[in-house]
């Protein structure tokens, strides 16, 4: 009972004041990040390209007068015109509508692969870095997976699973997980040796807490950059698989299988190769530029810093 007054004697701490300062700092930090984000030319250019493509994927199918599966044998292989902006394919289907729907498929596959590789790669990489038994198992499997040429492994997985859009996502994700896992692992290994982690351990923090609250934030930036590139690679792989005839099954449109159809009529219908090709290039270019910009922003030690010397 004697203790109580002594506690009340301590100077009163104004927690609200601290919280408001912290919030202020956070806000400033955030606005600083947004400013840096917007002042990076690559991020802005790459981001704009991506934004345009996403808008195209959403708005394109709405403005098109035709559905992507509508067959019109009379108007087969028509060149671009006011009626059919990108021309028609070998079944008389409107190419603009097919490419717009294909954009949803290609971007959807790319985004899903990026997300899944990020999540799974993060788990694998983190736990490999912290538990040496898991490290041996995971990393040997990653080595083995990386020894396969991407496309052969993806084709084999597609043969097992069967040609469906979901399976394209699964196949490409399996092929690309090792890349993310390795990057996360190497940043986690660096973090693991830092003094503040030692301090956390001495304070009795659980390994779960160390991994998820103190390692993840530090391993995130290089991973996000890598995942942007994987997004681009996934679009290429989807297109390649569909072009080989084991990806998105016909008659559903994807940029890859429009190219596949286009190859058979390459002598008479250039538009079937040029337009879907253009969109693939645009998407991959946008992602690559965006990724380079992000890398400069998030990872100051990389190329840009070297280049500036």
**Which residue ranges make up the site for other proteins (CB under 8 A)?**
140-141, 143-153, 155-157, 159-160, 162, 232, 236, 239-240, 243-244, 246, 259, 262-263, 266-267, 270, 273-274, 277, 280-281, 284-285, 288-289, 292, 303, 306-307, 309
Listed in sequence order, the residues at least 6 apart from 276 whose beta carbon sits closer than 8 Å to its beta carbon are 99, 102, 255, 258, 259, 262
Instruction: Kindly state the tokens that stand for 218.
Output: 């530090």
What are the respective helix, strand and coil percentages of the chain, to the nearest 5?
Answer: 75, 0, 20
If one counts every other C-beta atom within 10 angstroms of the C-beta of residue 27, the result is 10
Instruction: Kindly state the tokens that stand for 35.
Output: 């400013």
Minimum distance, C-beta of residue 224 to other proteins, in the bound complex (Å) = 19
Nearer to other proteins, 105 or 259 (CB): 259
Nearer to other proteins, 72 or 150 (CB): 150
Minimum distance, C-beta of residue 38 to other proteins, in the bound complex (Å) = 21
Minimum distance, C-beta of residue 148 to other proteins, in the bound complex (Å) = 5
Minimum distance, C-beta of residue 90 to other proteins, in the bound complex (Å) = 16
Q: Is the dihedral of CA 166, 170, 176, 180 positive or negative?
A: positive
Alpha-carbon distance 203 to 196, whole Å?
A: 10
If one counts every other C-beta atom within 10 angstroms of the C-beta of residue 17, the result is 9
Nearer to other proteins, 116 or 287 (CB): 287
Nearer to other proteins, 158 or 219 (CB): 158
Nearer to other proteins, 129 or 259 (CB): 259
Minimum distance, C-beta of residue 161 to other proteins, in the bound complex (Å) = 9
Query: Among residues 146, 149, 134, 291, which one has the least CA distance to residue 222?
Result: 291
Residue recorded with tokens 């099954």: 249
Minimum distance, C-beta of residue 240 to other proteins, in the bound complex (Å) = 5
Angle at 80 between CA 91 and CA 101, to 5 degrees: 60
Nearer to other proteins, 59 or 144 (CB): 144
């Amino acid at each position: 009972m004697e203790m109580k007054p002594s506690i009340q004697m301590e100077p009163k701490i104004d927690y609200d004041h601290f919280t408001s300062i912290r919030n202020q700092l956070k806000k400033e930090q955030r606005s600083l990040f947004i400013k840096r984000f917007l002042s990076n030319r690559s991020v802005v250019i790459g981001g704009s390209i991506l934004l345009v493509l996403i808008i195209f994927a959403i708005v394109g199918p709405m403005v098109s007068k035709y559905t992507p599966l509508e067959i019109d044998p009379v108007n087969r292989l028509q060149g671009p015109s006011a009626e059919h902006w990108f021309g028609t394919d070998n079944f008389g289907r409107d190419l603009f509508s097919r490419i717009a729907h294909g954009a949803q498929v290609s971007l959807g596959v790319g985004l899903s692969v990026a997300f899944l590789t990020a999540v799974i790669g993060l788990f694998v990489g983190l736990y490999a870095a912290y538990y040496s038994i898991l490290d041996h198992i995971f990393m040997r499997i990653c080595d083995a997976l990386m020894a396969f040429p991407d496309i052969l492994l993806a084709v084999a997985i597609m043969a097992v699973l069967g040609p469906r859009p979901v399976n394209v996502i699964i196949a490409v994700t399996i092929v690309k997980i090792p890349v993310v896992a390795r990057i996360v692992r190497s940043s986690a290994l660096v973090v693991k040796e830092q003094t503040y982690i030692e301090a956390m351990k001495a304070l009795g923090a659980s390994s779960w807490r160390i991994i998820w609250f103190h390692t993840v934030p530090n391993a995130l930036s290089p991973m996000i950059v890598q995942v942007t590139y994987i997004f681009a690679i996934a679009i290429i792989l989807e297109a390649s698989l569909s072009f080989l005839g084991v990806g998105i099954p016909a008659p559903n449109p994807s940029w890859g299988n429009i190219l596949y159809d286009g190859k058979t009529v390459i002598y008479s219908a250039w538009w079937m190769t040029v337009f879907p090709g253009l969109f693939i290039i645009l998407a991959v270019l946008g992602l690559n530029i965006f990724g380079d910009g992000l890398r400069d922003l998030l990872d100051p030690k990389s190329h840009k810093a070297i280049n500036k010397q």
